[in-house]
Structure 1
């Protein structure tokens, strides 16, 4: 006889401090879960207040408001009749914890604090919360008086416990706990827990989803069990995009998987599982014997409910859900959809009039524009009522029903080519044709008179007139003349962002200015401080040039934009120096390194935690081999050059535009990559060590060569 249970998890687009909106989305997910016959509903981490509240977690008001909203959910009779696993921050004995509250029929069964906190990269949970690093330990928690009036309970259990029903056992895991060496699901499975819930606030990074799903499938394959993974989705108010992908996994097989990128505010994922499958899976292993050897058991809190109805064997409507293939997006698709969803959330929640982008004719601003186009396409393709309400509110047109992405772009997206005498006809033409294809409101202008006015002002004030290096000027003059063009574009960007809607007769707020500096240029510091990379937000600030090229190649085909091929084949150039028959400015020549090399430097520095010496050693082993075939001196020179320019430009990262986080080697100094602003760019001690290594390598190579000659 089967023991069939229908279970639900969800993706919720929660927003930090949006208590009423978060409440409504939670309630909607509960009602949808009940409608599908689910007996257990799991939601994302800290879903009551939103995960990304950051230092607002230090405010006691936040905890009070969270309890008030939670009380409204408990009071709502429509949320009864199903076990609820809801994320909320709780103060227990004056200490703040990241918690799950398990309830049934308006009664709190357990408050389960997070055992292990995420505290690296983008996460600073230990800045706000204390880990409950006492496995299987529990205490009584005094409920707030208004909650006691609702539930009739004065105290509830607070700690690392499990829930026991008439037919199974449930246990909680929270986000980071899945990634730790001693994941709670291991010991819980040995104590008879068959259903695991995981409530997460896990953000999107390129190629990260496979790691997350591999951990979940491997956990249930090894231990046996049902794993319900819930996740936040959308822009919670910061640089991160939470990419959903809620799923239900049984014994290593995926039964249900939610979308990774979507404009849906509430997405509920259900599956009907047979608990006998879990028991059969475990009986094939030695788990039962090992469980008997566990000295300390979990406290089990009983909930008087049976999740699996007795008649399920005869109820043909309860058909077990079949396994399915896991869906993964290509990295190119992740770039197309992740930042696009983030941009949509940012725009509709900021209630600005749209986006403005300086469109240079290069691949970076091109990629940014195509991501905005992808956002417009997602809006048109969405069948969500809320999406239509949002687009009408943003355009201040209650009748607006877009039919094409260009319909949306024509109202929300503004672009401009800000040319000078150093600009080529090719870049100007590419920018114009791309804007026409996307449907943006485009302004083509020349700003030479503005540049000349500033240079003339300097000449009048100082009696000196700077000239470009190609005409005999110094490197200092050359750099200053480039920078003034770039910085004036930033000033013009904000002027146009504020006034372009007005020129079109639209009574809408100003536009948000988009930046388009990629992660490699940020890492190298190959940009002007406070130039047009200084913007409101940047959708590509953590994406490499290599990945952007792959994305553009993908978009050329999938978005039917032949014009994109011209961007792919064009030489990357800032076009800030005069063009002559013998000279055209090149980004990679200016930087002294290729974009592929920059990506490798960035990953070794941040992900592999390499300093100059360790980086040299790794790269020598890589680059001394085909196809690079570099000498030790050449590798050393490249490594030293990278660290020098990284160090002297580090100060630029403190002012960089908030960027969509997509790569682990992002140099974002505001949240992710905290390094000194002023350091010795020569790294003399490490450089001396590298020089010693080069001598040793050359000496050994000489001995090998001489040995080979003697053998010949």
Structure 2
């Protein structure tokens, strides 16, 4: 609490004494999308208040690398500081009572502050819009992001947000998409609020909740005092070209707020890479499962590191579901009941829930070892999955028999005197037969048990195998979902050791 705070004439044209504002950040699905302006499709944020559209702010920089191809769908806004008149569709006019609204690169001027918006990729630019906005007096920046989860990526996001307010001052609110939409990407939330280089609020990076709200109480005078004391910034700001301001008859603060304590800086709590592997893919699997309307997963479990890691991720998902239900999350409970097709069902434990939604399948041949079979069976028992052990020798011999009937040749494994080509071909037949068998059991194993629904097949090819092509085409690399498809073998080994302690799974030490 400041005493004898000085009066300032702010950039908005009114006197403000020690203004404090309560900021609330909602992180859920995106509040941006396509808008046709003069028959050009833009990716936009639509800012509104009390059923009135204040501003349509088009995105100026498209994400067009890696997983993203925004230029395929959208055109970037290339008119800095320019605002045009946008004619609303008649259906929207009936709701808002407006015929036209501002469209372009502008900011909002409320009674007590100035608010600007960035959109996702713009934060990652070398010349991010918040730089010029801040120099022009914008004090609060908002960003609705669609940043997908990658291991160790949270460090980059946090550094970007902190640096955005450290050099230029200001308040930055970053929200992020959560969940997935039938896609291989998972958006992990990780919302945050920053003030003058410090973090004051942190959202959950991984959560099964559809909506999360962050709140912070901050003093706008802290922004003004911080900026005014940086002489070089003041000189630069005096030469900046002004943004068009959309005036808003609204105040984020009141004079009563001067007696409200402000939020203190916090230390960001990062997850270890092992925790990220445990939580990120697990949340992604849950969101995909509930949206797909399927009844669970089928995992070919070989007893090796990769398939065991996939099994642990599903078990972690079961733990998260049970934890959310215990905390009173009715939406998660509803989804769990829909998946198991029982409106009265409540999970008793992660193992009990895992029995309902995960079927593991060790598909043996005459070349399989007892050690891997026992390891897979023990892991299935410890996580609680419904475990099957079909032998696929009959199918393998049938396929090889077709080849022999046509060519008159009988290929042999190297151990039986065959060549390298014969050995590789026979190994690949075994692997591909397992894929076909997995899909058959995924579609019909619940039917055979008298249960409704089908299962999604999980793959277990790690990113090293995918990048090097070190795999059999259409074996474990072919699946509906692959929870470890973006994770290296090194990280998976660390995750296995983490799972031994975290989930009490001694089978992983065998």
- TM bin (shorter chain): over 0.9
Deviations 1:474-508 (CA, angstroms, capped at 9, x unpaired): 222111111111111111111111121122221x2
Match of 1:351 in 2: 293
Which is worse superposed, 283-292 or 230-239?
Answer: 283-292
Root mean square deviation of aligned Cα: 1.2
Runs of 4+ in 1 over 3 A off after TM superposition: none
Deviations 1:121-157 (CA, angstroms, capped at 9, x unpaired): 0111111100012211111111111222222221111
Provide the rounded CA distance (Å) in 1 between the counterparts of 2:258 and 2:304: 63
Which of 18, 28, 43 is residue 2 of structure 1 equivalent to?
18
- Confirm whether residue 536 of structure 1 aligns to residue 483 of structure 2: no
How far 1:161 sits from its partner (Å)?
0.5
Provide the rounded CA distance (Å) in 1 between the counterparts of 2:406 and 2:234: 86
How far 1:429 sits from its partner (Å)?
0.3
- Confirm whether residue 514 of structure 1 aligns to residue 453 of structure 2: no
Provide the rounded CA distance (Å) in 2 between the counterparts of 1:357 and 1:281: 55
SS in 2 for 1:230: strand
Provide the rounded CA distance (Å) in 1 between the counterparts of 2:408 and 2:54: 79
Match of 2:238 in 1: 292
Which of 327, 350, 354 is residue 405 of structure 1 equivalent to?
350
SS in 2 for 1:563: helix
Q: What TM-score comes out, normalization by structure 2 length?
A: 0.94
Provide the rounded CA distance (Å) in 2 between the counterparts of 1:175 and 1:484: 46
- Given that 2:447 and 2:453 are in contact with CA atoms closer than 8 Å, whether structure 1 keeps it comes out as no
Deviations 1:617-653 (CA, angstroms, capped at 9, x unpaired): xxxxxxxxxxxxxxxxxxxxxxxxxxxxxxxxxxxxx
Match of 1:574 in 2: none
Match of 2:442 in 1: 497
Match of 1:656 in 2: none
How far 1:399 sits from its partner (Å)?
1.3
SS in 2 for 1:418: coil
Task: Return closer, same or farther for 1:223/1:441 CA change in 2, 3 Å cut-off.
Answer: same
Q: What TM-score comes out, normalization by structure 1 length?
A: 0.68
- Confirm whether residue 373 of structure 1 aligns to residue 315 of structure 2: yes
Provide the rounded CA distance (Å) in 1 between the counterparts of 2:303 and 2:343: 35
Q: How does 1:461-500 map to 2 (within 5 A)?
A: 461-500=406-445
Taking CA–CA contacts closer than 8 Å with sequence separation of 6 or more, which of the two structures ends up with the larger relative contact order? Answer: 2
Provide the rounded CA distance (Å) in 1 between the counterparts of 2:492 and 2:185: 19
- Confirm whether residue 327 of structure 1 aligns to residue 269 of structure 2: yes
How far 1:108 sits from its partner (Å)?
1.4
How far 1:288 sits from its partner (Å)?
2.6
Deviations 1:667-699 (CA, angstroms, capped at 9, x unpaired): xxxxxxxxxxxxxxxxxxxxxxxxxxxxxxxxx
How far 1:403 sits from its partner (Å)?
2.1
- Given that 1:419 and 1:445 are in contact with CA atoms closer than 8 Å, whether structure 2 keeps it comes out as yes
Provide the rounded CA distance (Å) in 1 between the counterparts of 2:453 and 2:353: 17
Provide the rounded CA distance (Å) in 1 between the counterparts of 2:36 and 2:53: 16
Which of 439, 444, 452 is residue 384 of structure 2 equivalent to?
439
Match of 1:649 in 2: none
Match of 1:271 in 2: 216
Match of 1:209 in 2: 154
Deviations 1:10-68 (CA, angstroms, capped at 9, x unpaired): 221x3xxxxxxxxxxxxxxxxxxxxxxxxxxxxxxxx2xxxxxxxxxxxxxxxxxxxxx
- Given that 1:493 and 1:532 are in contact with CA atoms closer than 8 Å, whether structure 2 keeps it comes out as no
Provide the rounded CA distance (Å) in 1 between the counterparts of 2:32 and 2:477: 38
More helix per residue = 1
Q: Which ranges of structure 1 fall in alignment gaps of 5 or more residues?
A: 15-46, 48-85, 567-712
How far 1:463 sits from its partner (Å)?
1.1
Match of 1:160 in 2: 105
Deviations 1:44-101 (CA, angstroms, capped at 9, x unpaired): xxx2xxxxxxxxxxxxxxxxxxxxxxxxxxxxxxxxxxxxxx4232100000001111
SS in 1 for 2:253: coil
Deviations 1:410-469 (CA, angstroms, capped at 9, x unpaired): 111001111111111110000000000010100113222222222223222221100112
Which of 364, 383, 396 is residue 451 of structure 1 equivalent to?
396
Provide the rounded CA distance (Å) in 1 between the counterparts of 2:34 and 2:471: 41
Which of 136, 142, 147 is residue 191 of structure 1 equivalent to?
136
Provide the rounded CA distance (Å) in 2 between the counterparts of 1:237 and 1:221: 38
Provide the rounded CA distance (Å) in 2 between the counterparts of 1:237 and 1:285: 48
How far 1:517 sits from its partner (Å)?
0.7
